[in-house]
Amino acid sequence: MIPQAMPAAEPANTVLSVRNLSIDARGADGKPIHLVQDVSFDVFEHEVLGIVGESGSGKSLTMLAVLGLLGPGLKIVSGSIVLRGQELTSMAFADLQKVRGKAVSIIFQDPLTTLNPVLRIGEQIAEAIRLHNPNKSKAEVKARVIELLSLVGIPNPERRFSQFPNEFSGGMRQRVVIAMAMANEPDLLIADEPTTALDVTIQAQVMQVLAEVRARTGAAMVLITHDLGLVSEYADRLAVMYSGRIVEQAPGEELFSDAKHPYTAGLIASLPQIDHKVASLYSIPGFVPDPRKRPSGCPFHPRCAIGRDRPECSATDPALREITPVRDVACHFYEETPAWLGQQRQISAIPADAPEATKDDTEVVLKVSHLEKVFNIGGAAFRSHKLHALRDISFDLRSGKTLGIVGESGCGKSTLARVLLRLADASGGDVFLNGAPFFQLKGNALRQRRRDLQVVFQDPYSSLDPRMKIHDVIAEPMRIAGSYSAERVTQLLAHVGLPPEAGQRRSPEFSGGQRQRIAIARSLALNPDVLILDEAVSALDVSIQAQVINLLMKLQKEMGLTYVFISHDLSVVRHISDEVMVMYLGRVIEQGATEDVFDCPSHPYTRALLAAIPQIGGKSDTEGMIAKGDLPNPMNPPSGCTFRTRCPMAQPLCAEKEPPLVDHGHPGHEAACHFAQA
């Protein structure tokens, strides 16, 4: 049991101690909304505490309260926050300012908005130093800034000192933010989704820098994230939050090997794995409750596989209690969780006698050959730069199959989607849809044919017109085609698991996952053959993501749909795809059957990507595998192999000759590398 009253003396190595913290917001009707309830945890010296939870769990709010940065309308109603022996909740504003940035500092998610675009990088870091050291001379401050810049691994710190944020890449910007946060060597660093806005290879670099600077100063860290893999790899202890409270607390390895709360177990079971394929994902039903309409008893019980129908769970809210000296869990029936998780693993595993996937027996519905896209950038015609966004993309996609397209931002995967959909014109190459040329079509013929190729986009918020009723949203394609039927709308809603009444409401009333279901229903309205899914599950929380993936796979089976699945998330791609294409700077660098590419990647970039993904259980082995540096400027790509500037195995030959995309002893599995491993 966590002590209710603060003990007389905190252990000397406690950096932060939060006890019974509750935060309320004032609702529109004047009634308080309990956003964070009775949260208690400690952070000890040198340790990384990971706080995981889906959106709306209260994880960021809790840490903002520690910094005294709660927005207007939010209030700490009870509890204490003690940082190095100082009580923060009752501290005067002026004193709090002395603590912020000195004893505790924060790294936010988006380095683009954290840095002021009109101030030079050096000045921004200097500001952080000067605030707490007003007596330092200008030269001293500058020397310290340059020291900090080199500490976070920014090359040429003297030159970078006087540059503006727009001259830095995303990963470099986040390094600058880390330098600012470390400027006064705080005891506690709060990192709120520090790498969520970054690509996976850059994420690995930034996490490494964080670990290095922490090792030097001995700062403790709270790592807030939705990414279970990331905390598994970088956190010593974990707290899982759900609907405003901590439901489980444990050392990282124990939590993942032996989850006790059904919510934690559900999250683990709903995550696709990078190292093996499962037949189906578990998905936690329902969604995170609105804090105004929290269920009675345990807030998780309506979604819980173990407690759903048990009277205790709907009657009493289980307190967070200690089950071993290092573990706490808030569940009446936590003993049953490991058995349930084991059972789920068996259900989702691919049976050993499963028939080999039938190959190449269906016809090609989408044939892409030598697709090119060049953008002219810059105003005046005689000074315009060419950006080769797509180079020589070819593939055949057979009916009922899924092609996964992976790559980091800027690799051209979304441009490919737009060109295929004819939302942008290709600069060369051909596309055949059901055997007929698609790119030559114009006017009415195009409007007819493009209905066979539909799309679901990433952002569930901008993909639905906020002023339309859901019924009209789904009916729109039929109205355009002149084949409207109200029954069909109801039928489509049922296909994606929504009740018919949903049609009468507008999109702002729906959550992200539901909106994505609506977008899927709309894309299916005209019975397309091919669906392009452009990061269609990337914006969703883990439990919701599993629901939508399962829905997509079910629909594919039932309707014989063919998918082009574009994603930066390799685990999801592995789970859903039959074939995979890896893109880098507009070019396909590896292509083949999913198992071949993931189990024996032959291009160094694919291997770097796979190695950079944080894995649940066990630290991933990134030694020597991390892709160095940043993506080169696509307007001025490197000569020869475009990956050579970041490649751990580059040779002089790579700068001279561009490697062709060919198979290396294994037909159907091609890679564009001079030194590809078969």
Return residues touching another protein (CB under 8 A): 28, 421-423, 446-448, 450-451, 453-455, 457-459, 462-467, 473, 476-477, 480-481, 508, 519, 522-523, 525-526
Nearer to another protein, 424 or 626 (CB): 424
How many angstroms from the chain centroid is the CA of residue 355? 33
Classify residue 474 by burial, with Cβ atoms within 10 Å: 0-12, 13-18, 19+.
buried
- Rounded to whole angstroms, the Cα distance separating 504 from 522 reads 15
Q: How far is the CB of 488 from another protein (least distance, A)?
A: 14
Q: How far is the CB of 269 from another protein (least distance, A)?
A: 31
Task: Please check whether residue 590 is in contact with residue 582, taking contact to mean a CB–CB distance below 8 angstroms.
Answer: yes
Instruction: Return the axis-axis angle of helices 200-217 and 170-182, rounded to nearest 10°.
Output: 20
303: left (phi over 0), alpha (psi -120 to 50) or beta: alpha
Nearer to another protein, 164 or 432 (CB): 432
- Rounded to whole angstroms, the Cα distance separating 20 from 622 reads 39
- The token duo for 524 is 């299916």
How many angstroms from the chain centroid is the CA of residue 620? 18
Q: How far is the CB of 449 from another protein (least distance, A)?
A: 9
At residue 41, the 3 state secondary structure works out as strand
- The token duo for 59 is 């994880």
Nearer to another protein, 532 or 647 (CB): 532
Q: Is the dihedral of CA 392, 536, 461, 515 positive or negative?
A: positive
Task: Please check whether residue 388 is in contact with residue 637, taking contact to mean a CB–CB distance below 8 angstroms.
Answer: yes
**What's the order of all strands across the beta sheet hosting 14-26?**
32-44, 14-26, 74-83, 86-87
Q: How far is the CB of 637 from another protein (least distance, A)?
A: 26
Nearer to another protein, 326 or 481 (CB): 481
- The token duo for 368 is 């892409």
Nearer to another protein, 339 or 480 (CB): 480
* Residue 131 CB neighbours (<10 A): 15
Q: Is the dihedral of CA 54, 57, 61, 65 positive or negative?
A: negative
Task: Please check whether residue 405 is in contact with residue 341, taking contact to mean a CB–CB distance below 8 angstroms.
Answer: no
Q: How far is the CB of 564 from another protein (least distance, A)?
A: 13
Q: How far is the CB of 422 from another protein (least distance, A)?
A: 8
Percent of the chain that is helix, strand, coil (3-state, to 5): 35, 25, 40
Nearer to another protein, 312 or 465 (CB): 465
- Rounded to whole angstroms, the Cα distance separating 281 from 599 reads 20
Q: How far is the CB of 70 from another protein (least distance, A)?
A: 19
Q: How far is the CB of 419 from another protein (least distance, A)?
A: 12
Nearer to another protein, 409 or 633 (CB): 409
Task: Please check whether residue 14 is in contact with residue 42, taking contact to mean a CB–CB distance below 8 angstroms.
Answer: yes
- Rounded to whole angstroms, the Cα distance separating 61 from 374 reads 45
Alpha helices in 270-370 (DSSP H): 311-315, 337-348
Q: How far is the CB of 446 from another protein (least distance, A)?
A: 8
Nearer to another protein, 14 or 491 (CB): 491
Task: Please check whether residue 212 is in contact with residue 27, taking contact to mean a CB–CB distance below 8 angstroms.
Answer: no
At residue 678, the 3 state secondary structure works out as coil
Q: How far is the CB of 391 from another protein (least distance, A)?
A: 24
Nearer to another protein, 223 or 470 (CB): 470
Q: How far is the CB of 423 from another protein (least distance, A)?
A: 6
- The token duo for 12 is 């000397």
Q: How far is the CB of 123 from another protein (least distance, A)?
A: 32
Tell me the sheet residues that pair with 36: 23
Nearer to another protein, 123 or 452 (CB): 452
Q: How far is the CB of 448 from another protein (least distance, A)?
A: 7
Q: How far is the CB of 38 from another protein (least distance, A)?
A: 30
Q: Is the dihedral of CA 147, 151, 157, 160 positive or negative?
A: negative
Classify residue 96 by burial, with Cβ atoms within 10 Å: 0-12, 13-18, 19+.
middle
Opening angle at CA 243, ends 241 and 246, nearest 5:
30
DSSP tag of 638: P
Q: How far is the CB of 228 from another protein (least distance, A)?
A: 28
- Rounded to whole angstroms, the Cα distance separating 496 from 132 reads 56
DSSP characters for 638-668? PSSSTTGGG-TT--HHHHH-PPP-EESSSTT
- The token duo for 513 is 């996952």
- Rounded to whole angstroms, the Cα distance separating 77 from 227 reads 30
